[in-house]
Amino acid sequence: MIRFILLFFILPFIGLGQVTGLIQGQNGEKLKPLYGAKVKLLSSKSGVITEEDGQFELVLPRLLPDTLVISARGYFSDTIPVTKDDRFTAFNIVLFSQQLLPEVIVDYRKKTTSISRLKVLHVEELTSAELRKAACCNLSESFETNASVDVNMTDAVSGAKKIQMMGLEGIYTQIQFENIPYLRGIESSFGLETIPGTWIESIQITKGTGNVVNGYESMAGLINLEFQKPDEMERIFVNAYQNRLGRSELNFHSGIALSDKWSTGIFGFVTSQWNSVDENNDGFRDLPIGKGFALNNRWSFEGENMEAKFGVNAHLDEKLGGQMNTEFNNSNEDYGVLLQNEHIDFYTKTGFFGKSPGQSFGIVSNWKYQKLNGYFGNRNFYGLEKRGYLNLIYDDIIKTTDHKIKLGASYTYIDILQLVDSIDNSRIEHIPGVFGEYTYTGSRITSVLGVRYDYHLLFGQQFVPRAHLKYKISPRTDLRLTSGKGWRVPNYLIDNVSLLANSFSWIPNTEIVPEVSWNLGGSVFQEFQIFDNEASITVDYYRTWFENQLVVDREYDIIRFQNQKNESFSNSLQAELSVEPINNLTLRMAYKYLDVKARYGGEIQNKVMIPSHRGFMNAGYQTRNKRWEFDMTLSIFGKARLAASSNSTQEFSDVFPKLNAQVTHRLKKWEFYLGGENLTNYKQENPIVEPENPFGSSFDATRAWGPIIGYNLYFGIRFAIIKSKQENEE
């Protein structure tokens, strides 16, 4: 059977080969990897774009010789003949700066979402063009056209959203801002809505445990956010958004080049939900009203021997949910949900380049202050967090670039205060750590082996091994395997703050210990041609099991927190097909199966609110002149188990669809878009149990598993002024 499967993948590509390489630019002072350089075969007309580290990988056609054309904006193009003898060859190509170069001579359209062929881990990249296909006013809405990440409402009154990967909550997925740990601790529950989607240049989604360089918390996956770069983004960009429910937003950013070495970027965001909506007539706001703003200022310095990036990010927001008559002063007797959030952080990334290629030393730091006041009726949450993070990274090669090493040390300081009524989960943490990672790159096999050792001054030592492997079965087929350990200290109050939206008693665990998990999985990525266009299919499977997990048991109207050892696990299977049946029409179809279990109510059973099956389809079409763009996403959510309750006889959620669509028209500096969400108008009936008696013993607003509001229509305008030397490219 195994031989048959291997032959199935290999036979169609016998006779094919591939080339890999590194594209660097020489500007007269130093060499630097070129991101977005275009590499194209002249005769076969196939091509790729280099990754952020300047690397590329290109499948060769059967008919050789051919000519490889390499070009990048601001550099002289170069050509290299490629013959059959060059199959599985690695090139190191240097392009020389030419300020008078008027136009890039090679045209290649980069996909808006793709699996990186070069990275060892399974990394899916979403570009800014993909994010513009949806309303995408904040990070929680940036995954609408993606099948790997689910975003769900946590309750029916606060409007909070949480992500899920591989059936596990977002607390087990490490979110990073350009490799800096982000949205941790107090901001984990509501922070997704404070980062506008228009600020983001790309999102990289990694399944399985990440590299040890990034830390110890990536237990189910890793999401890395790349913001717009000051020296590359628009001189002025403005996005205005309005929907039928009374939500108004305005976000902007501006990149300013101060000199040939210094540049700065300014980002702004304001939002207001000014209309109280109660479409299901239960007396509660379907969406909380409120307002918020965010501001980010980042700086970039590029010198001959060093680079530095630093900035400050701040946001404030206030939301009011609950019954329709509640007010922000929280002084009346109605049931209100008031959330007040304050955040500021300062981040730095500094790199020093060594004398030999591949040698560098980096310093990454982040310092954060976060405060949250939350009121759910007569129940209060208060959180205050001060966090410091420092990561030192040394990169080098061993003789050749086939052997790379990373060594470093990290330190995390956390002073966190969490109070719910009489429950106190406050502490001060000091976590020093060291790590090492070795990467081997061969013609077909690339492997990454890493270990890190962390010592928590409250909970003792943790040893984290991780291993990743990529094997090129054929020039168009990649096999990836990954395994490793992860751990985190649970913040069970803020992690489950939305469960205050009921009248149930909380039974906290008397002992807080680190959650420890192991992850094992892999993926197969296959490229092929259909309808004379490129297509791909990806199948991945991951299993996560916990040595210890703090499980939230919601059965029988009581919230219990229990440490469970070797009983909880998650199995995730996903298959995705991407095809282009005709030019400029892209179809993506996916199916996901989740098996997530732990001990609930005294027996091993499925976790609540996790559908076992999900279907996904996305269709996108762009006219030849790029003036019009159409996009549609349909998701089908299967049944999910609901917590046993004396107040509800419903054991499972319904199977329901969710259809989103958007039309975009481009006109020089302007873009106009019109879209709709939940166009099937599906609504969960009675998302709140006993809304007429919110202070009674049976009130529960945490059984929300589907859309609370019906269809939503929105429109928006984007305006951009491109820098004089920057081309307006997708």
Write a three-state SS string for 653-716.
CCCEEEEEEEEEEEECCEEEEEEEECCCCCCCCCCCECCCCCCCCCCECCCCCCCCCCCEEEEE
Q: Report the percentage of the chain scoring pLDDT > 70.
A: 93
Q: Are 653 and 705 in contact (CB under 8 A)?
A: yes
pLDDT at 10 over 50: no
H or E segment at 348? strand 336-353
Q: Tokens at residue 370, please?
A: 């976060």
Q: What is the pLDDT of residue 305?
A: 85
Residue 6 has pLDDT above 50, yes or no: no
* Residue 242, strand partner residues: 248, 715
Q: Number of H helices and number of E strands within the chain?
A: 3, 43
Nearest to 564 by CA among 575, 586, 549: 549
d(CA 719, CA 238): 5
Which H helix or E strand runs over 9?
helix 2-10
* Residue 662 to residue 132: CA distance in whole angstroms: 9
Residue 537 has pLDDT above 60, yes or no: yes
Closest by CA position to 614, among listed 223, 116, 155, 165: 165
In degrees and rounded to multiples of 5, residue 34 shows phi and psi of -100, 115
Angle at 521 between CA 520 and CA 527, to 5 degrees: 160
Distance CA 621, CA 581 (A): 11
Topology classification of domain 2-106: Immunoglobulin-like (2.60.40)
pLDDT of residue 276: 93
The gap from C-alpha 66 to its chain's centroid, in whole angstroms, comes to 38
Please choose, from the candidates 159, 125, 155, the residue with its C-alpha nearest in 3D space to the C-alpha of residue 142: 125
Whether 37 has a pLDDT exceeding 60, the answer reads: yes
- Local confidence band at 28 (pLDDT 50, 70, 90 cut-offs): low
3-state secondary structure of 217: coil
What DSSP character marks residue 229?
A: P
Residue 246 CA to residue 410 CA, distance in Å, equals 45
Structure-token pair, residue 290:
């409120």
Instruction: Pinpoint the residues of the chain covered by CATH 2.60.40.10.
Output: 2-106
Q: State pTM to two decimals.
A: 0.85
Distance between CA 638 and CA 654 in Å, rounded? 7
Range with lowest mean pLDDT among 329-343, 367-381, 567-581: 329-343
**Does residue 654 register a pLDDT over 60?**
yes
Residue 679, pLDDT above cutoff 90 = yes
Other CB atoms within 10 A of residue 515 CB: 23
At residue 332 the predicted structure's pLDDT band, cuts being 50, 70 and 90, is low
DSSP-assigned letter for residue 526:
E
Q: Which helix (H) or strand (E) holds 492?
A: helix 492-495
Query: With 70 as the cut, is the pLDDT of residue 707 above it?
Result: yes
What tens digit of pLDDT does each residue of 275-286 get?
999 999 999 999
Distance in angstroms (rounded) separating the CA atoms of residues 139 and 151:
10
Coil vs helix vs strand at 12: helix
Give the per-residue pLDDT at 85: 67
Looking at residue 53, its pLDDT comes to: 77
Length of the chain: 730
Residue 5's pLDDT band, with cuts at 50, 70 and 90, is very low
For residue 302, give the amino acid letter.
E
The pLDDT, as a whole number, for residue 297 is 97
More confident residue, 442 or 347: 347
The pLDDT tens digits of the residues spanning 549-578 come to: 999 999 999 999 999 999 999 999 999 999
Q: What is the DSSP string of 20-48?
A: EEEEEEE-SS-EEE-TT-EEEETTT--EE
Q: What is the pLDDT of residue 103?
A: 44
Any idea which fold 114-721 has? Maltoporin; Chain A (2.40.170)
Q: Is 653's pLDDT higher than 90? A: yes
Residues with Cβ within 8 Å of 8's Cβ and at least 6 positions away in sequence, in order, are none
Are the beta carbons of 578 and 587 closer than 8 angstroms?
yes
Name the band, by pLDDT with cuts 50, 70 and 90, for residue 16: low
Find, among 65, 57, 61, 106, the residue nearest to 82 by Cα.
65
Q: Are 394 and 406 in contact (CB under 8 A)?
A: yes
d(CA 548, CA 515): 5
Alpha-helical runs (H) found in 50-125: none
With a cut of 80, say whether residue 99 has pLDDT above it: no
- How much is the pLDDT for 3? 46
**What pLDDT is stored for residue 104 in this prediction?**
42
Rounded Cα distance between 464 and 450, Å, is 8
| Averaged pLDDT for residues 578-604 | 94
What is the dihedral sign for C-alpha 40, 356, 366, 254?
negative
Point out the least confidently predicted range of 159-163, 293-297, 515-519, 714-718: 159-163
Q: Is the predicted pLDDT of residue 589 greater than 80, yes or no?
A: yes
Residues 6+ apart with CB under 8 A from 672: 664, 665, 715, 716, 717, 718
Asked if pLDDT for residue 199 goes beyond 80, the answer is: yes
Partners of 710 in beta bridges: none
Q: Which of 162-171, 234-243, 586-595 has the lowest mean pLDDT?
A: 162-171
Q: Which regions of the chain carry the CATH code 2.40.170.20?
A: 114-721
Provide the greatest CA pair distance for the chain. Answer: 81
The pLDDT, as a whole number, for residue 421 is: 82
% of the chain at pLDDT higher than 90: 62
Lowest-pLDDT choice from 335-344, 503-512, 517-526: 503-512
The mean pLDDT of 456-485, rounded to a whole number, is: 95
Which backbone phi and psi does 500 adopt, to 5 degrees?
-75, -10
DSSP-assigned beta bridge partners for residue 350: 308, 363
Region of residue 605 (phi > 0: left; psi between -120 and 50: alpha; otherwise: beta): beta
pLDDT class for 659, splitting at 50, 70, 90? very high
pLDDT at 354 over 90: no
Query: Is it the case that residue 107 has pLDDT exceeding 90?
Result: no
Which neighbouring-strand residues pair with 379? 376
Sequential DSSP letters for 413-455: EEEEEEEETTEE--EEEEEEEEEEEEEEE-SSEEEEEEEEEEE
Angstrom CA distances, 318 to 163, 248, 272, stand at 21, 15, 10
Q: How distant is the alpha carbon of residue 329 from its chain centre?
A: 36
Asked if the model's pLDDT at residue 106 lies above 70, the reply is no
DSSP state of 88: T
How many degrees, rounded to 5, is the angle at CA 717 between CA 711 and CA 719?
155
Q: Verify cis geometry, omega within 30 degrees of 0, for the bond prior to 65.
A: yes
H helices of 320-389, where?
none
CA distance 446 to 469: 6
Least confident of 237-251, 328-342, 545-559, 708-722: 328-342
CB-based contacts of 604: which residues, under 8 Å, 6+ apart? 567, 597, 598
Whole-number average pLDDT of the chain: 88
Confidence of residue 17 (pLDDT cuts 50, 70, 90): low
Question: Which residues, including other chains, have CB under 8 Å from residue 712's CB and lie 6 or more apart?
Answer: 243, 244, 245, 676, 677, 678
pLDDT band, very low/low/confident/very high, at 7 (cuts 50, 70, 90): very low
- Over the stretch 412-444, which tens digit does the pLDDT of each residue have? 999 999 999 888 989 999 999 999 999 999 888
Tokens of 650: 């419903």
Q: Mean pLDDT across the stretch 170-183?
A: 91
pLDDT at 8: 41
CB atoms closer than 10 angstroms to residue 128: 19
In this model, does residue 108 exceed pLDDT 90? no
pLDDT in the model for residue 41: 82
Strand partners, 344: 314, 369
